[in-house]
Structure 1
Amino acid sequence: MSDSSFLEAGQLASLKAKLRSGATGAPAPDPAPSSLPDLGVIFFSGLSGDSDPYELLLEVSRYVDGAGFGAVWTPERHFTDAGGAYPNPAVLGAALAMVTENVRIRAGSINLPLHNVLRAAEEWALVDNLSGGRVDLAVAPGWHARDFVLNPDAFQDRAQVLNRSREQLQDLWRGNTVQRTDALGESHDILTFPRPVQPELPVWLTSSKSEDAWRFAGENGFNVLSALINFGPPELKKRIDIYREARARVGLDPDAGVVSLMLHTYVGADMDEAVETVRPAMIEYLSSFVTQHATSGQSESRDKSETLRTLDQDRAEFLEMVFQRYVTSSSLIGDAKQARATLEGFHDMGVDEVACLVDFGLSKDEVLASLARLSPLLQNGA
């Protein structure tokens, strides 16, 4: 795999400046160093309290676009009540392109092994045109066996399929052709349309616990989207170090790669109010999430399913324990002072951006009030 397949260090530095400013033309100058990561928002569960999930998505996106947040991420999730509002981030991205002007429009993530890469290239190039060149993609192999009813043959080798599809997607984006055979057996060199605005497709690799995935991302010049799933901040710091060291080992600027971290976010008037506001919604969210992982078809998750069955009578206590862990070490839940301290801590670990997960069951008004309390901590107001 040649180095020309990836963004060079200088391009990545320029991209980071664009991500902060929302610019899509000439590169913006790097801002003065900050002790805080950049901020964006991410949607993941489709739980929206008293409002429609799409109303929440659009209203929040309009707000963060005007307030100076850097990006809006939308996921790809299938066949589940929690998250099922978001089956296609390209469709959501097209909608967001129409109601925003500045924020980067990101897939967080697209599960490439589920898709025909030609269709993915067409869809995201269309969103790139609609948005004036604001598309970024985080790509992932997919994880839940049930999702692969869309492409069952890809499940066992999904990591390898991801790499092949991602390489082809980047080639198509650059204007190269890929060879395909039609229904009559005739071979064609396929070039996809529309052509995108951006000459290079900015790519994040979605990874959480796998050290090998972090190393691969570093060696190949990708950015990383992560979440604190089944590991905590000390383990995150270790993985970021692996990533930076891998970049340096292949001659890339170790500090130029973007590490984006998803954190459940609610900034309240004070710490106690914040915790009690999110407690019912967050515990319900955690219960749904743990159950989905336990039924994913992977051996580690099946072990968790057995554990959950044995804990059935103590489920409430177990979920309260998980909730407390999230609040104290793995979320952006608290008042503005606590939010700043948390952001500073993650920045010190090497996190460049925090993607604030906001759709875990709070009302639209609560989410917007939280973001208004958080917005003074943006780069331009820190």
Structure 2
Amino acid sequence: MEIGISTFAETSPDVHTGEVMSHAQRLREVVEEIILADQVGLDVYGVGEHHRKDYAASNPAVVLAAAAPQTKRIRLTSAVSVLSSADPVRVFQDFATLDGISNGRAEIMAGRGSFIESFPLFGYDLNDYDTLFDEKLDLLLKLTASEKVTWQGTHRPAINNLGVYPRPVQDPLPVWIGSGGNQESVIRAGLLGLPLVLAIIGGRPAQFAPLVQLYKKAAAHAGHDASKLPVASHSHGFIAADQETAVEKFFLPTQQSMNVIGRERGWPSYSRQSYDAARSLEGALYVGDPDTVSEKIIYLRKNVGITRFMLHVPLGTMPHEEVMTAIELLGTKVAPRVREEIAAWEANGGA
């Protein structure tokens, strides 16, 4: 069971003061958070790509590369790379470069992107939303499989037996598929034999169990060993030394963030009632003291089949020292307990 962190490098207004930190400050904080995550024994750190004012990380590979020489073992991934609006050659080169700097710790998490600002920015038509991803994923996988590539599509100029460099340390460079829970996307990941990441940020996580089974069924149908394919989750949360502190500190930034996105997408207002319901054992919010968060991750592993858990923290803008404390508690308190209990559970046949 792998445990890690993901971030979008938020720069939304502080809920108490209204102040907005600079993109530069938030990026420097993220590098410090990656270094700490490595020091406390976490397995992975992911940075999400966005192209809007309230998020600072438009190029995850650059952010991760800034921390790579200052870390030793933590894996460094995008979360996600918006492949549909990117050039797969450049994505591959960026992460192959990161892989070299980190000596084989880079990963690509490829997704369509739930935020669409990058499409007009880079000149893509949203009517091609699905075909763009399919075509560009095909090219990315060819780049990971071979030094020289011959490829032709409809949304990008063809490549005729050209080498793409640098080559990564890992062969092949790992590519995960990020999904919000769409059946088509999990089937695609399974048929391709690629690791799957599910964004479990609402509802009941147990409802994702059939999707995991569908993914494994598709993988087995295509001849892949489904038992060896990892499944990750990305979920919002926050950890403090005691339950009440964690709950109260995380509510207002969460409410603010969810309402900003909600107004854009037509969601209902995010209430304290919604927040408290999501904090329950069967809810999708991983907020509380180390024991509470540990129990929820263990529940997720046993009931959904997740083998990598990524805590998305912060949600919105929170004091850097509080985020650092949450990361430290995840690495020193939560992760050891989760790994130990899951190992014992698996040793007993998962019963």
What residue in structure 1 maps to residue 344 of structure 2? none
What residue in structure 1 maps to residue 46 of structure 2? 73
Determine if the alignment matches structure 1 residue 280 to structure 2 residue 245. no
Determine if the alignment matches structure 1 residue 357 to structure 2 residue 323. no
Q: Deviations over 1:184-234 (max 9, x none)?
A: x99853211212211202111111121221122112211111112454213
Amino acid corresponding to residue 166 of structure 1 in structure 2: L
What residue in structure 2 maps to residue 297 of structure 1? none
Taking a change above 3 Å as real, the CA distance of residues 82 and 200 of structure 1, as seen in their structure-2 partners, is same
Q: Deviations over 1:80-124 (max 9, x none)?
A: x332x0111122122122322211110111111212222222222
**Residue aligned with 1:157, SS:** helix
What residue in structure 2 maps to residue 30 of structure 1? none
Which is further off, 47-56 or 325-334?
47-56
Q: Deviations over 1:228-279 (max 9, x none)?
A: 2454213211211211222223332222111111122222222222111111
How do 1:160-239 residues align onto structure 2 when only pairs under 5 Å count? 160-173=131-144, 174-178=146-150, 188-229=160-201, 231-239=203-211
- Counterpart CA distance in 2 for 1:187 and 1:356 is 39
User: Can you give the 5+ residue segments of structure 1 that lack an aligned partner in the other structure?
Assistant: 1-36, 295-303, 309-314
What residue in structure 2 maps to residue 43 of structure 1? 7
- Counterpart CA distance in 2 for 1:267 and 1:149 is 37
The one of 61, 71, 90 aligned to 1:90: 61
**Residue aligned with 2:79, SS:** strand
- Counterpart CA distance in 2 for 1:180 and 1:244 is 30
Taking a change above 3 Å as real, the CA distance of residues 154 and 126 of structure 1, as seen in their structure-2 partners, is farther
Contact 1:175 1:191 in 2 (8 A): yes
The one of 252, 268, 274 aligned to 1:322: 274
- Counterpart CA distance in 1 for 2:65 and 2:330 is 27
What residue in structure 2 maps to residue 26 of structure 1? none
TM-score, length-scaled by structure 2: 0.83
**Residue aligned with 1:101, SS:** coil
- Counterpart CA distance in 2 for 1:138 and 1:53 is 22
How do 1:22-41 residues align onto structure 2 when only pairs under 5 Å count? 37-41=1-5
TM-score, length-scaled by structure 1: 0.77
Amino acid corresponding to residue 322 of structure 1 in structure 2: S
**Residue aligned with 1:343, SS:** helix
Contact 1:225 1:259 in 2 (8 A): yes
What residue in structure 2 maps to residue 6 of structure 1? none
**Residue aligned with 1:198, SS:** coil
Contact 1:40 1:355 in 2 (8 A): yes
Contact 1:180 1:190 in 2 (8 A): no
**Residue aligned with 1:128, SS:** helix
Contact 1:137 1:202 in 2 (8 A): yes
**Residue aligned with 1:217, SS:** helix
What residue in structure 1 maps to residue 330 of structure 2? 374
Amino acid corresponding to residue 356 of structure 1 in structure 2: L
**Residue aligned with 1:156, SS:** helix
What residue in structure 2 maps to residue 62 of structure 1? 35
The one of 139, 142, 151 aligned to 2:113: 142
Percent of aligned positions that are identical: 21
- Counterpart CA distance in 2 for 1:281 and 1:213 is 30
* Number of residue equivalences: 321
Q: Deviations over 1:44-68 (max 9, x none)?
A: 2524869731232112111111111
- Counterpart CA distance in 1 for 2:325 and 2:76 is 22
What residue in structure 2 maps to residue 260 of structure 1? 232
